[in-house]
Structure 1
Amino acid sequence: MEPQIATTPFGGRPFTLDDVATRRHARERPAGARVGKWQVFRWISIARQQLGLGERALAVLNALLSFHPETYLEGARLVVFPSNEQLAIRAYGMAASTMRRHLASLVDAGILLRRDSPNGKRYARKGPGGVIDLAFGFDLSPLLARAPEFEQRAAEITAEKEALCRVRERISLYRRDIAKMIAAGFEAELSVPAAASAPDWPGLHHRFRTLLGCLCTRPGRLELEALAADLADLADLVLKCLECHSNSSKLSTSESQNEHHIQDSKQNSSDLEIREEKEGKETPDIPPGPLGAKPSLQPLSLVLEACPDLQDYAREPIRDWRDLIAAAAIVRPMLGISHAAYEDAQRAIGPAHAAALVAAILQRGTAIQSPGGYLRSLTARACRNQFGLTPLLNALVRSHHRAAQARQE
């Protein structure tokens, strides 16, 4: 006579319609089904969020699979019956109460089935020849029955992550290209053609930073695809603006550039640092200030970690404070910060500290409506010892870490 296997769980555990569906699905699995136990575990690990499982639930599942003696799940003998003590050891010393909670989550997710004995204990009975005839514990048959579903979920999630990675790569390339092309046009003092949607290079830069503003809102792949398309259009527009002047051998001394200099003398005079560098003059020495005459590498590395966007505008990789100051001089007029405001900040808190503030303002993007007024406000607060750069940089670093974690999830 066939042994009686209980359908409902032992004790006060409830029996739900989900349990009925899981048992029916496991019972109706295709004949001859076979799957590697560690392969299905990897699929479940990839799809764990869709299945409502945490990392510790996966650790318990990993421990249960280790008690199955075969590499593959097949046939009808798929019940494992470890004691709580042995299961806790293989679950990396997990507490018994925590382990029970995660076992329940695996059952609720339809990953496991309970095969409870009359007294709720887990054990097996052997028949003639020492072969296990009846076992009470956790049935792994749902893993075998749902293996195609887990495989499909994992494939879809993997494909989505790959597509997301590709669109982020495209956005990174567009960001670098647009930033450097706008910096080149601004430094060469080129005029923007009338066909462009912005009157000048700062206007194009503002449009660029506005597009990048949506990156702070944890967009999905569809939103990133739309952003990549907008950045592609902007990159084509900026490139066409540069190509309009590509036939001139010396753009900085052409007649059209002299006219632009007369019409926009205020903007060009605010870019004195850039022109001095182009003429071969040395960058002024950094006077003692809040960051000191010789800033240590660690504060500079903090600035670069907190404000990675500044690197897009630098001619060379930023390796020291002089490189940082030169890059900030390129970005400052694009942000609409006047030369007078920047000079006041340099005198009050030092060139290095002022450059770091410009980098932070650039990184925050459209969150700052008036970069020039924001710089003056922070400068005034720093003079009254009411503002420090380190907390601002640390906040930016934390926001980067949160965004990276959100992308991984």
Structure 2
Amino acid sequence: MGKAVFVHKPMAFTKLSVKRQKAHLPHDETASAAELDVWTIFRALRDSHTQFGLRPSHMQTLQALLSFLKPGHGEVVFASNAEICRRVGGIDERTLRRHIDRFLALGFITRQDSPNRKRYRVRSSDGQCISYGLSLSPLFERADELLAVAQKLENMRRDCIFIRKQILTKLAHLEETNPDNVFTSTVRKALRRKLSIAEYRSLLSETESEYRLLSTAVDAPKTAFLPANDGQADRHLSKSEKEDKDIETVGNDNKPEVQTLTSVCREATAFAPKGLTTWKDVERHAETLAPMMGIHASTFDKAKIAIGPQKASCAIFIMLQLGKRIRNFGAYFHSITLGKRVHQFDPIVLLQRLANIENATA
């Protein structure tokens, strides 16, 4: 007696097409464009299923229902619940009923019950037919809606990636200027989460504001005029190199009078427990203010070595006077004392600007 052989029939993925209503078609579309692959509609709903409160298991059930449709046999599924459960992958019938009820509530399926609740089709002699079962025609009628929702989500996904790359580029520039910037580490932690398009745009706006901080008028490089010939170019280059060396040599001597500093920078002076009459008083007070402004003590010590304790102290006083015009004190302090634009920091010029602004508004 021979052994019985059981043949497993794979799930059928027959390519079907549905007729779209002409009202939805642009005027320049041909009649053949009215046909749309049902699996295109399925993929559109699959990609946007969360928008309708559906889970992946719901989509597996819908995929099985679509696989029962055959070309030329309408849009009604006649298979029994038991057969549908087998094709889904062995789910229980209660789960199947819950899934079907969900699609019914969303308006993607309609139920056409026979008197005995069996699913079948009957035809008359003149070709008329009555179908009892699960009709998927509502799903196909909403093809335009589903395709539009899926396209909108795809556009948002691409925009999120684009904005995220912009943020990462700005963060890289910020970290080159100040590797210890607290702002950049905070943003990178936020980027680890799945963010909405509004949250990405908000982060980009904050990052751009932080980036513009390093390109303020205080730090902006002076405009250089190109000479007319090569000889002038050589002289200009030699002169620029000499000026840079001179700045590095006498930079620590470029400081204002203590009285000028304290009279203009009243915000910092107001925090002093006693009068500031000498540079030692100013330096001690700056060391106290720096941590309160988010500037690490080690960063302040490096700045004192790089540009001198008096200029570093001036930077603290001037920044506190600028107040809200500086978004991140730590990054700003690093840029004018240890960053690429350190030689452009001139306390005397900045104090004069602040004094002029106060006189103009007085």
TM-score normalised per structure 1: 0.45
Match for residue 163 of structure 1? 159
Gaps of 5+ in 1: 1-27, 184-201, 276-332, 335-409
Report the structure number with the largest CA radius of gyration. 2
Contact residue 30 and residue 145 of structure 1 kept, 8 A: no
Aligned letter for 2:200? L
- 1:41 maps to 42
Note the alpha carbon deviations across 1:85-131, whole angstroms, 9 max, x for none. Answer: 221122122221111111111111111110111111222335569x8
Count residues with an aligned counterpart.
Answer: 225
1:3-22 mapped onto 2 (5 Å cutoff): none
**1:54 matched to which residue of 2?**
55
- Any conservation in 2 of the 1:181–1:239 contact (CA below 8 Å)? no
For residues 252 and 267 of structure 1, the distance between their equivalents in structure 2, rounded to whole angstroms, comes to 24
Q: Distance in 1 between matches of 2:252 and 2:40?
A: 66
Out of 84, 91, 96, the residue aligned to residue 87 of structure 1 is 84
SS in 1 for 2:214: helix
Tell me whether 1:136 sits opposite 2:167 in the alignment: no
Is this contact kept in 2: 1:81–1:122, CA < 8 A? yes
Q: C-alpha distance in 1, partners of 2:172/2:164?
A: 12
1:230 aligns to 2:231 (yes or no): no
Q: Which amino acid aligns with 1:164?
A: C
Q: Indicate whether 1:256 and 2:287 are aligned.
A: no
Distance 1:258 1:114 in 2: 89
Specify the alignment match of 2:93 in structure 1. Answer: 96
Q: Aligned in 2, Cα 1:137/1:255: closer, same or farther, shift over 3 Å? A: farther
Partner of 2:339: none
CA deviation profile, 1:224-279 (whole Å, cap 9, x unmatched): 2132123123223325677659977689965437989x9689635866xxx9xxxx
Distance 1:83 1:51 in 2: 26
**Could you tell me how far apart the structure 2 residues matched to 1:60 and 1:99 are?**
7
Displacement of 1:61 in angstroms is 0.5
What SS does the aligned partner of 2:108 have?
coil
Equivalent residue number for residue 107 of structure 2: 110
| 1:148 partner amino acid | D
Shift of 1:81: 0.9
Instruction: State the distance in 1 between where 2:119 and 2:246 align.
Output: 84
Q: Residues of 1 paired with 2:150 and 2:298: CA distance?
A: 55
Q: Tell me: CA distance 1:252–1:146, structure 2 relative to 1, closer, same or farther (3 Å).
A: farther
* TM score, norm. by length of structure 2: 0.50
Structure 1 residue 220: Cα displacement = 3.2
CA 1:254/1:98 → structure 2, altered by over 3 Å: closer, same or farther? farther
Write the mapping of 1:265-344 to structure 2, written as runs, cut at 5 A.
Answer: 267=298
CA distance in 1, matches of 2:39, 2:113: 25
User: In 1, distance between residues paired with 2:212 and 2:149?
Assistant: 38
Percent identity of the aligned residues?
24
Does 2:66 align with 1:65? yes
Aligned-CA RMSD value: 4.4
Alpha-carbon spacing, 1:165–1:159, altered in 2? closer, same or farther (3 Å):
same
Query: Any gaps of 5 or more consecutive residues in structure 2?
Result: 1-19, 24-30, 224-239, 256-279, 288-296, 307-329, 332-362
In 2, Cα distance between equivalents of 1:110 and 1:123: 22
